[in-house]
Structures are given as C-alpha cells and as structure tokens.
Amino acid sequence: MERIGIVGYHQVRPELDLQMSPYECIFTAVRGALDHAGLKRKDITTVISATNDYYDGKTISNCFKVSAGGAYMKDESKVEMDGAHAAQYAMFRILSQNHKLAMVYGFSMPSCMPFECTRILELDPTFDRPISLMNSYSTCGMQMRAYMKKYGVSEEQIAEATATNWKNAAKNPLALQEAQKADMTAAEVLKSDYLASPLRELMYPLLGDGCTALILAPEKQALKITDNPVWITGVGNCQETYYFGERDLTTSLSMEKASEAAYKMAGVKPSDIDVAELFGYTACEDIILAESAGLAEKGKGDSLVAKGCLNPSGGATSGMTPCATGLNRIIEAVKQLKGEAEEHQVSGVKKAIASGQIGFCAQNNIIYVLEGGN
C-alpha cells in the first residue's frame, strides 16, 4: 500500500457540557486542522464525517453539517461508525487517486443525548432489547469477569491499570478536565460503587462533548505540506459476530484479525510497536485489545500499562466522545511519533498503533499502524 500522510489535526478539548453549538464545534475542529496544516479550504478535495443520527437526535444529521465541515461543493460522505472508520474511507478515496487531500472529522455531543439509551437501540430488537439485561455497563462487566476468571487476574490489577489511566489523563492537556485525576489510586477505584459487578463507577470513562478533525494526504502531497508527516502504513478492520454466546469475551477475535491484516500491510511485527493507543471502554478492554493485537502474552497485558506504552494519553478514560474517540487515539499516536506529546511523551517512539471500535465489547475493531520520519 502507498503510504498516507497525516498532515494536520485538531481536537476540540472535550467538556462535560461544551458551550458551543454542534456546528460551531465542528467548525472549530475543521478550521483548526486546516490552520494546523497551513492549508486553505479550497485545498481539501473530499470530506468524510463520522457522526451518528441517534447521537445527534435527528435524521440525516449530516445534511446541515455540510457548511460547518467545510464540505460545501466538495465530494462528501458520512461513515456512521467511529471516526477511525471514517479515516479508512478517506484512505480509500486517496488511494484511488481521485482525491488529493481528505478531511475527516468525528463529532458528537453526549451532554445532549441519553448515550446509554442510544446504545440499547444498538441491541437486537427482538430478544436482547425487550429483556433489557444488556447495556454498556453489564457487557463491560461480563467481559471483565470472564477475563479475570480465565487468566486469574485480580480486581486489584484491573483497578491499578484504571488508576494509571486516570493519572495519565492528568498529563494530557486535551483530556476532559474532570478526568484529570493525578492522585488517583487503585484503592480509591475499588471504593467506588458497582455499575455492574465487577465494573465500578471509576472504571467507566466520562463522556465529553467534542469534535476531532484529521487531514490525510497521499505521499507526494504530504511531503510538500510538512517536513515531518506521520505515515499510515497499515490498516486492518474486522467485525466479529454479535451474539455473546458465540464470542470468547476474554479475547477479541476482531482485533486479532484486524491487527494481523494491518501488520501484514505495514510489514511489521507486533514486537516493533513502541506505543499503542487503543480505544477500549475500560482499562480491562484496553488490555484485552492489546493482548489480541499481539503486544503481550494473554493474561499479562496489565504489565503494558505499568510500562507506560499502552495508552499514555489515558485512552478513553481521558474523555470519551462517541464517534471521535478513535480519531483522538490516532492523534495521540501521531503526537507520540512526532515527539509533541509533552508530559506524556514516551521516549524513542518509531512505530505506533491506534485503534477505534464500535459495538458491545468491541465487536468491530479498526487498527492503524503509524510510522514517523520521512
């Protein structure tokens, strides 16, 4: 695959109740990304958005966002998944050689929507929805229980990883202010109430309003725009089955297949990866995804968190914006590769991975292999 350069990005810092209208928020991110890359709107040839009608509370929510997203008289489309999936569609468009520069943005405003209710609408409507036992909390709880049981991982180990995420978020200037808890301890995590045993309140991320934009360019253009672009050298995407009965929750089949494809495309081995920015709802899910991506032995993933090479930005814990979290992970990985992540910089990063997901217990995973340097 031809390398694709990430030449500009901007993230609106998430807030619990952002004082911006949705269109203003998108405008800020898109304008910011253009300014970051030093480009003009007319340079962009295609715009791919990642929003969800259920998160916006209106049908065809993208039809009014055309102006704000800079897509007026541009080849435009929308991917109703995570922002990371939208970036893959933008890659399709660039690799086809029909387009030069692609703008990707992911946006949602959880302060305006009942997020957990919209997640219930993702369930199978004939069985799972009426019995109303499955939701974000209970599925995360089931996954955590299954993982702990199979590998003999204790609740303290998960709590320790969770506390590290909160502490990492404190070093991340773009994290939700409420998520920046520099003095969080495992004991405090274990003291919080159960959402769905063994999932506790402090193990589940806070939702923040925000928007993230990313500009992708083909190799030639990227080198013209910036001296040190970050390259996407591999991408893998996989969706496994929905039914929990068929899935092994202690691992992620979709992540295994997706990462396999991405590594193959990039020609790298899991051991080459220096930093992983993965989108998991909980610290436990982060660990499961990292293990499935081949970064650690099964059941030993929590050592990655301790070492600081898994989610140095805090991951989804640093503030989860549905539809934008995957893009945030990509941006954080890009910052690590460029050496621009100030306080949470990991030293000597050459290759990184970033992932996005949708569905319960990461039913669909998309993973990118990112490399720095010319």
- The nearest distance, CB 250 to another protein, in angstroms, is 17
27 touches another protein by CB under 8 A: yes
**DSSP bridge partners of 344:** none
**194-196/199-200 β-pairing:** antiparallel
- 237 near 20, Cβ under 8 Å? no
Tell me whether residue 54 or residue 368 sits nearer to another protein (CB atom). 54
| Stretch of 96-104, 169-177, 193-201, 294-302 lying at the interface with another protein (CB under 8 A) | 96-104
State which H helix or E strand residue 104 sits in: strand 102-108
Comparing CA positions, the residue from 191, 215, 181, 180 lying closest to residue 100 is 215
- The nearest distance, CB 173 to another protein, in angstroms, is 24
80 touches another protein by CB under 8 A: yes
Chain positions 187 to 246 lying near another protein, rule: CB under 8 A, are 218, 220, 235-243
- The nearest distance, CB 221 to another protein, in angstroms, is 8
Comparing CA positions, the residue from 360, 315, 354 lying closest to residue 137 is 360
Instruction: Report the chain's terminal Cα–Cα distance, integer Å.
Output: 16
Contact pick of 6, 12, 29, 30 for another protein (by CB under 8 A)? 30
| Tally of residues, the chain | 374
Tell me whether residue 61 or residue 180 sits nearer to another protein (CB atom). 61
374 touches another protein by CB under 8 A: no
- 162 near 283, Cβ under 8 Å? yes
- The nearest distance, CB 338 to another protein, in angstroms, is 25
Contact pick of 7, 12, 29, 34 for another protein (by CB under 8 A)? 34
64 touches another protein by CB under 8 A: yes
Chain positions 135 to 194 lying near another protein, rule: CB under 8 A, are none
Residue 50, φ and ψ in degrees, nearest 5: -125, 100
Kindly tell me the sign of the dihedral angle through the C-alpha atoms of 120, 123, 127, 128.
Answer: negative
Chain positions 301 to 360 lying near another protein, rule: CB under 8 A, are 358-360
State which H helix or E strand residue 331 sits in: helix 325-338
| Stretch of 107-115, 144-152, 191-199, 276-284 lying at the interface with another protein (CB under 8 A) | 107-115
- The nearest distance, CB 224 to another protein, in angstroms, is 12
In the 8-state DSSP scheme, what is residue 310? B
- 10 near 26, Cβ under 8 Å? no
| Stretch of 164-172, 257-265, 288-296, 346-354 lying at the interface with another protein (CB under 8 A) | 257-265
132 touches another protein by CB under 8 A: no
Size of the site for another protein (CB under 8 A): 89
109 touches another protein by CB under 8 A: yes
| Stretch of 29-37, 270-278, 287-295, 306-314 lying at the interface with another protein (CB under 8 A) | 29-37
121 touches another protein by CB under 8 A: yes
Tell me whether residue 26 or residue 163 sits nearer to another protein (CB atom). 26
Distance CA 233, CA 2 (A): 7
Within the chain, what is the greatest distance between any pair of CA atoms? 56
Distance CA 24, CA 18 (A): 11
- The nearest distance, CB 269 to another protein, in angstroms, is 21
- The nearest distance, CB 166 to another protein, in angstroms, is 28
Comparing CA positions, the residue from 204, 207, 179, 178 lying closest to residue 193 is 204
Distance CA 200, CA 145 (A): 12
Tell me whether residue 97 or residue 271 sits nearer to another protein (CB atom). 97
Distance CA 31, CA 38 (A): 10
Please give the sequence-ordered ranges of beta strands (E in DSSP) within 109-187, or none if there are none.
Answer: none
- The nearest distance, CB 148 to another protein, in angstroms, is 25
Residue type, 86: A
| Stretch of 62-70, 157-165, 266-274, 330-338 lying at the interface with another protein (CB under 8 A) | 62-70
260 touches another protein by CB under 8 A: no
